[in-house]
Amino acid sequence: MKLSKKSEYGLRALLELTLFYGKATLQRHQIAERQHIPVEFLEQILLALKRAGLLSSRRGMKGGYALIKPPGEITLGQVIRILDGPLAPIGCVSKTAYQKCADCPYAEHAQCPVQHVMGTVRDAIAGILDHYTLDDFACGHHKG
Amino acid sequence: MKLSKKSEYGLRALLELTLFYGKATLQRHQIAERQHIPVEFLEQILLALKRAGLLSSRRGMKGGYALIKPPGEITLGQVIRILDGPLAPIGCVSKTAYQKCADCPYAEHAQCPVQHVMGTVRDAIAGILDHYTLDDFACGHHKG
DNA sequence: GCAATGCCGAGTGAGTTAATCAAGTATCAA
DNA sequence: TTGATACTTGATTAACTCACTCGGCATTGC
């Protein structure tokens, strides 16, 4: 039930990029300084977000990173899935990356008590994170 | 955001013990067989649950484990905290094991956006797991 | 005493996390 | 064209965690 440093840093980096959305690009070291993140680690995080289509980047002098989509269209759920993988506490209840349990003594679906509770937990987590956008995030509160 | 095998096995073991609550004790190998759990691993799980005051045990021939408290008074939240640690996705929003973030650039409490969202996630998870008892678990559905 | 069972501590191999490093390639300015 | 700056890529690492595994000890019942 834990959020990795990678996701935490990723969210904090996106927060900075949200504040400058439409205004300027930010360089790795600027983001790193403002958010106290090791630069080289931040680099691979930004890169992953870029590959996932969330960021654009420019090389060379005056280079930097910027959000591609408006912050209101990016959810924390998306970001965490990119950096940490599925939100579900257990593979057999993931909607974006379902995986059958190897040795569960219960028949498929619905009869397994673990699967049942964890399904509701997954829905609760996704219900929050998939409706919480970078805009909400930057304001510090959900539009609810 | 993941449930460990340890917790999963722990919950499945407690499920068996719930079914036999007030009727009989169960030995490690019985639980292990019924739930397809490696015996030696199960052992340390049962031991942890015993140390936490959830189980009683008897050694020697005719030994075994049993629930101490009625299954309606044990919540999945308790169990998972014993085996996996705090439910909160990040230390600074845990209510049972709060830990200040080392290098968060935001002042204490309430101003950190990460802390804010993750707080609501924590509450959602705890809201489910701290009200879901072993009884509910054995029935496969919450009384809610 | 002896076998069955739980108790306990240490160890282990695979994998993950959180970085770090080194060698590129693109961009701009002088 | 040259050099400085900054993103890109891939490899490497140390520390840690996960999921077991093992060996020996303590207790109980026959």
Q: Other C-beta atoms within 10 Å of B62: how many? A: 8
State residue B67 phi and psi, 5-degree precision: -70, 140
β-strand partners of A85: none
- Structure confidence at residue A143 (pLDDT): 53
Exposure letters A33-60 (e unless 16+ CB within 10 A, then b): eebebeeeebeebbebbeeeebbebeee
Nearest to B36 among A80, A103, A113 (CB): A103
Is residue A144 scored above 60 in pLDDT?
Answer: no
Closest C-alpha to A130, from A100, A92, A90, A88: A88
Closest C-alpha to A45, from A12, A89, A71: A12
H or E stretch at A116: helix A113-129
**How many Å apart are A53 CA and D7 C1'?**
16
Question: What's the whole-number average pLDDT of chain A?
Answer: 94
Is residue A77 scored above 70 in pLDDT?
Answer: yes
> Measuring CA to CA, how many Å separate A68 from each of A27, A83, A132, B67?
15, 18, 18, 55
In whole angstroms, give the CA distance from residue A72 to residue A54.
12
Which of chain A's residues have a Cβ under 8 Å away from the Cβ of B74?
none
Closest C-alpha to B3, from B103, B141, B128: B128
pLDDT by residue for chain B (144 residues), tens digit each? 899 999 999 999 999 999 999 999 999 999 999 999 999 999 999 999 999 999 999 999 999 999 999 999 999 999 999 999 999 999 999 999 999 888 788 866 567 999 999 999 999 999 999 999 999 999 876 655
Minimal Cα distance from B38: which residue of A? A103
8-state DSSP, A133 = B
Show the domains of chain A with their CATH numbers.
1-144 (1.10.10.10)
More confident residue, A83 or A110: A83
Residues B95/B126, Cβ–Cβ less than 8 Å:
yes
- Structure confidence at residue B142 (pLDDT): 61
Is residue A108 scored above 70 in pLDDT?
Answer: no
In whole angstroms, give the CA distance from residue A104 to residue A110.
12
Minimal Cα distance from A124: which residue of B? B124
H or E stretch at B28: helix B28-35
Instruction: For an interface test with B, give the residue of A11, A103, A117 to mutate (most B CBs within 10 A).
Output: A117
Q: What percent of chain A has pLDDT over 90?
A: 86
Question: Does the distance separating the beta carbons of B138 and A113 come in below 8 Å?
Answer: yes
> Going by C-beta distance under 8 Å and a sequence separation of 6 or more, which residues neighbour residue A81?
A87, A96
Confidence at A124, pLDDT banded by 50, 70, 90: very high
Task: Tell me the per-residue pLDDT of A8-23, one tens digit each, with 9 for 90 and over.
Answer: 999 999 999 999 999 9
Confidence at A109, pLDDT banded by 50, 70, 90: low
